[in-house]
Amino acid sequence: MNYNKKTIMDVDVAGKKILLRCDFNVPQDKETGAITSDKRIVAALPTIKYLLEKGAAVIACSHLGKPKGEWKEKLSLAPVAVRLSQLLGQEVIFAKDVVGEDAKAKAAALQGGQIMLLENLRFDPREEKNDPSFARELADMAELYVSDAFGSVHRAHASTAGVAAFLPAVSGLLVAKELEIMGGALNDPKRPFVAVLGGAKVSDKIGVINNLLEKADTIIIGGGMAYTFAKAQGGSIGKSLCESDKLDYALEMIEKAKKNGVKLLLPIDTVAADNFSNDAKRMVVSTMAIPDDYEGMDIGPETTKLFCDAVKGAGTVVWNGPMGVFEFENFAAGTRAMAQALADSGAATIVGGGDSAAAVEQMGFADKITHISTGGGASLEFLEGLELPGVACLLDK
Q: Where are the alpha helices (DSSP H) in 220-300?
A: 226-232, 247-260
SS3 309: helix
Q: How far apart are CA 137 and CA 166, in angstroms?
A: 10
CA 222 to chain centre: 19
Would you call 354 a catalytic residue per the annotation?
yes
SS3 181: helix
Would you call 377 a catalytic residue per the annotation?
yes
Would you call 40 a catalytic residue per the annotation?
yes
Query: Which one from 151, 354, 375, 390 is the annotated catalytic residue?
Result: 354
Q: What share of the chain is helix, strand, coil (3-state, %, to 5)?
A: 40, 20, 45
Residues 6+ apart with CB under 8 A from 362: none
Give, as one character, the DSSP assignment of residue 195.
E
Burial of 74 (C-beta count, 10 Å sphere; 0-12/13-18/19+): exposed
Helices 333-344 + 354-362 axis angle, to 10: 80
The answer, yes or no, to whether the previous bond of 389 is cis (omega within 30 of 0) is no
From the DSSP assignment, how many helices (H) and strands (E) are in the chain? Answer: 13, 17
Termini Cα distance of the chain: 13
146, 21 contact by CB (below 8 A): yes
Would you call 201 a catalytic residue per the annotation?
yes
Q: b or e along 215-232 (b: 16 or more beta carbons within 10 Å of the residue's beta carbon)?
A: bbbbbbbbbbbbbbbbbb
Query: Which one from 201, 256, 263, 368 is the annotated catalytic residue?
Result: 201
156, 130 contact by CB (below 8 A): yes
Q: Report which residue type is found at 327.
A: E
Query: Which one from 17, 21, 40, 239 is the annotated catalytic residue?
Result: 40
52: enclosing H helix or E strand: helix 39-53
Q: How far apart are CA 60 and CA 110, in angstroms?
A: 12
Burial of 97 (C-beta count, 10 Å sphere; 0-12/13-18/19+): middle
Rg (CA), the chain: 23
State the maximum Cα–Cα separation within the chain, in Å, rounded to a whole number: 69
Which of the residues are catalytic?
40, 201, 354, 377
